[in-house]
Amino acid sequence: MSMEPSGNESPAIERPSMDVDIVCAGFGPATGGFLTTLTRGLPLEDGTLPQVMCYERADDIGFGVSGVVTRARGIRASFPELNPDEIPMAAPVREEKVLYLLDPIGASRRSFTLKSADSLLRAAGVLDHEAFELPLIPAFLEKHDGLVMSIGQFNQWVGQQIMMSGMAQIWPGMPVAAPLIDGSRVAGVQLLDHELQPGMEIKAALTVVGDGPVGPVGRQLDEHFGMPEGHEKREWAVGMKMVIDLPEGSPLEPGMVLHSFGYPEPEIFGFFYVHPGNVASAGIFVPSWFDSPVRTTYRYLQHFLQHPYLWRYVEGGRLRSWGAKTLNEAGRRGEPHLVGDGWARIGEGSGSTNVLTGSGVDEAWTTGTQLGEAVLELLREKKPFTKENLEATYVRRRRASWLEQESLTAEKSRDGFHRGIVAGMLGMALAGFSHGRLHIPGAPIEHMPKVEDFFSERIPAARVDEIRREAASSGKPLHDALMDAWGWPAIPYDGQLLVTQQDALLMGGKVQAAPGYADHVAFRDEALCASCGGKTCVSVCSGQALTDAPERPAFDREKCIHCGACMWNCERENVVFMAGAGGLHSAEN
């Protein structure tokens, strides 16, 4: 995985510095849980009021991306009186389905086994709009006591309460460039440089790292402190979603939840949730173990929406919001060192996401609350934030909780996917039902196939070559041309829901970037790019911020949504993904 020292190039410059007691990097659900718990215990009984600062990269809190359906166990523990009506777009889960989507157009790459299964299902006449509804939902997947939410609205709701308490400050538009590492200790963070002002050093007794799956602060800690024996972060997915104003008179009820697999490619999972107000969230995950070098999530999302099972609901709808983000699918196996002298990690970057149940929000929140309780305990006892003390308080709480039990179960569940989707689903079910004792072993893909090889079944190598030349001379994306040639139908743009990716950036993502910051995506060795045939970083780029160019891909900072997918999609680990400003300006995802 590519890790890089810091987004700030010039170590020699004089940096202003400031002292606080606790500094947090990133404001997602994990830090939300942390600050909610911590601020409720402040000031301490003896009147002590530590100064607590949180710096968030995005231009406002709540510009994150997620599903989100959650069992909300941890969230409800923090808000026992929680009334979903108070949070815009939230609703209790009312109906759940797991769907196997067949391919109505014959463009997806299906194995022989899958094709046979499809024929059987078709012959049996059990399909509804080319989809097979699983007769029962595995218990581990069920979220029927949970909530459908917008992560943006939830984060804003939480953030406002924390801010109004006056016990902590959350500053958006302020990326953290790096942890201040001092031997075995972390002494705070350094903020990102702006051309008019060098990034400040924020010194703190405790640094809380909640910067999510691809956060640069967490990755620099991984780099410096290494990963625990046998742990690694190697499985990822890029999740992309749209929030859709459903057509008037839609029959769908708030709280409906659909999970899908099988289409547009067997490896791609989908979701569809209904919010109050005739609004739905729909999205897909393109995982790292999907072996296609052409992994253009946006195009696949458009095909997903057009699957007959969904299209009957969304046709005539309007794109309201859009975004994408990486999901760390390594889960417990990707758990880094959780604490050290002066630092602690929470949330998805700390391996909390449960890939078996497809949930990360409540888990992230819960790790935050556990750290919050631990910090209050240490503050009350006037103990320093040493590795030992954090282990005895935070890590102990985490190990003793449901979170640990469930992530151990999930740990092995995903391996089967590398052997194909059917084995994968089976593997997930086996592990889920047997609480982790049974699983189908497998290993992540080591090498992305060459474009020519991957498409050889339907596109002769000479034609691939030709397509490549055409793309280069017209400046148009190669991946789209390849998908067309393979047999994916053109997208019937309607300017409302099916819009170009550029339009999605503005209509849905409202993407923008303040001037004055350096490019946060760079290439370690440009020569590698020049000889790269696949350019997966370009085809996967969620924002079309990376485009093909002769030497190395061209990066347009104003279009980047900071999903981090480019980083883990270059198998040569040639992408340097650093802290940067800007990105999505939607709080509805």
Ligand X SMILES: Cc1cc2nc3c(=O)[nH]c(=O)nc-3n(C[C@H](O)[C@H](O)[C@H](O)COP(=O)(O)OP(=O)(O)OC[C@H]3O[C@@H](n4cnc5c(N)ncnc54)[C@H](O)[C@@H]3O)c2cc1C
Residues forming the site for other proteins (CB under 8 A): 16, 18, 53, 55, 59-61, 63, 88-89, 153, 156, 159-160, 163-164, 166, 169-174, 191, 194, 196-197, 200, 202, 320, 472-476, 493, 495, 499-500, 502-503, 506-507, 510-512, 514-516, 547, 549-552, 554, 556, 558, 585-588
Judged by beta carbon distances under 5 to 8 A according to partner kind, the member of other proteins, ligand X, ligand SF4, none in contact with residue 431 is: none
Contact assessment for residue 438 and residue 423, using Cβ atoms and an 8 Å cutoff: no
Spatial separation of the C-alpha atoms in residues 214 and 329, rounded to whole Å: 12
Q: How many angstroms separate the Cα of 341 from the Cα of each of 120, 354, 391?
A: 59, 27, 10
Minimum CB separation from ligand SF4 for residue 342, in Å? 29
**Among 52, 167, 280, 570, interactor with ligand SF4 by CB under 6 A:** 570
Q: Which of residues 557-586 bind ligand X (CB under 6 A)?
A: 579
Q: Is the dihedral of CA 301, 277, 79, 47 positive or negative?
A: positive
Structure tokens at 545: 């911020």
Q: Is 414 exposed, middle or buried (0-12, 13-18, 19+ CB in 10 A)?
A: buried
Question: Does residue 65 touch ligand SF4 according to CB under 6 A?
Answer: no
Minimum CB separation from other proteins for residue 574, in Å? 16
Q: Which of residues 492-551 bind ligand SF4 (CB under 6 A)?
A: 521, 523, 528-529, 532, 535-537, 540-543, 545-546
Which three-class secondary structure state does DSSP give residue 491?
Answer: coil
**Among 241, 259, 397, 468, interactor with ligand X by CB under 6 A:** 241
**Among 210, 351, 416, 477, interactor with ligand X by CB under 6 A:** 210
Minimum CB separation from ligand SF4 for residue 504, in Å? 12
Judged by beta carbon distances under 5 to 8 A according to partner kind, the member of ligand X, ligand SF4, other proteins, none in contact with residue 546 is: ligand SF4
Spatial separation of the C-alpha atoms in residues 69 and 477, rounded to whole Å: 34
Q: Which is nearer to ligand X, 68 or 101 (CB)?
A: 68
Q: Which of residues 336-395 bind ligand X (CB under 6 A)?
A: 347-348, 353, 359-362, 364
Question: Does residue 68 touch ligand X according to CB under 6 A?
Answer: yes
Q: Is 392 exposed, middle or buried (0-12, 13-18, 19+ CB in 10 A)?
A: middle
Q: Which is nearer to ligand SF4, 429 or 576 (CB)?
A: 576
Contacts of 301-305 with CB under 8 Å at 24 or more apart are: 301/240, 301/241, 301/242, 302/491, 302/498, 303/107, 303/263, 303/264, 303/488, 303/491, 304/263, 304/264, 304/268, 304/270, 305/242, 305/497, 305/498
Q: Which is nearer to ligand X, 210 or 432 (CB)?
A: 210
Q: Which of residues 497-536 bind ligand X (CB under 6 A)?
A: 502, 512
Q: Which is nearer to ligand SF4, 481 or 540 (CB)?
A: 540
Closest CA to 263 of 198, 227, 311, 222: 311
Question: Does residue 268 touch ligand X according to CB under 6 A?
Answer: no
Omega prior to 135 cis, within 30 of 0: no
Q: Which is nearer to ligand X, 153 or 359 (CB)?
A: 359
Spatial separation of the C-alpha atoms in residues 210 and 61, rounded to whole Å: 13
What count of other Cβ atoms lies within 10 Å of the Cβ of residue 304?
26
Q: How many angstroms separate the Cα of 222 from the Cα of each of 55, 226, 227, 288, 337?
A: 20, 5, 6, 20, 8
Minimum CB separation from ligand X for residue 574, in Å? 21
Judged by beta carbon distances under 5 to 8 A according to partner kind, the member of ligand SF4, ligand X, other proteins, none in contact with residue 224 is: none
Q: Which is nearer to ligand X, 185 or 585 (CB)?
A: 585
Got the DSSP string for 52-99?
EEEE-SSSSTT------EE--HHHHHH-TT--GGGSTT-EE--EEEEE
Number of Cα atoms under 13 Å in the Cβ half of residue 334 = 27
Binding residue count for ligand SF4, defined by CB under 6 A: 27
Q: Which is nearer to ligand X, 203 or 241 (CB)?
A: 241
Minimum CB separation from ligand SF4 for residue 564, in Å? 5
**Among 233, 275, 303, 325, interactor with ligand X by CB under 6 A:** 325
Contact assessment for residue 248 and residue 194, using Cβ atoms and an 8 Å cutoff: no
Q: Which is nearer to ligand X, 130 or 354 (CB)?
A: 354
Minimum CB separation from ligand X for residue 463, in Å? 26
Judged by beta carbon distances under 5 to 8 A according to partner kind, the member of other proteins, ligand X, ligand SF4, none in contact with residue 542 is: ligand SF4
User: Which neighbouring-strand residues pair with 399?
Assistant: none
Spatial separation of the C-alpha atoms in residues 104 and 101, rounded to whole Å: 9
Structure tokens at 143: 């979220």
Near ligand SF4 by CB under 6 A, which window of 67-75, 334-342, 430-438, 564-572? 564-572
Minimum CB separation from other proteins for residue 359, in Å? 24
Maximum alpha-carbon separation in the chain: 77
Q: Which is nearer to ligand X, 218 or 266 (CB)?
A: 218
Judged by beta carbon distances under 5 to 8 A according to partner kind, the member of ligand X, ligand SF4, other proteins, none in contact with residue 65 is: ligand X
Judged by beta carbon distances under 5 to 8 A according to partner kind, the member of other proteins, ligand SF4, ligand X, none in contact with residue 48 is: none
Spatial separation of the C-alpha atoms in residues 400 and 391, rounded to whole Å: 12
DSSP β-ladder status, 169-171 and 52-55? parallel
Judged by beta carbon distances under 5 to 8 A according to partner kind, the member of ligand X, ligand SF4, other proteins, none in contact with residue 268 is: none
Contact assessment for residue 589 and residue 150, using Cβ atoms and an 8 Å cutoff: yes
Which three-class secondary structure state does DSSP give residue 104?
Answer: coil
Q: Which is nearer to ligand X, 27 or 488 (CB)?
A: 27
Count the residues in the chain: 589
Footprint on this chain of ligand X (rule: CB under 6 A): 25-30, 55-58, 64-70, 151, 175-176, 210-213, 215-217, 239, 241, 283, 325, 327, 347-348, 353, 359-362, 364, 502, 512, 579
Footprint on this chain of ligand SF4 (rule: CB under 6 A): 521, 523, 528-529, 532, 535-537, 540-543, 545-546, 552-553, 560-566, 570, 572, 574-575
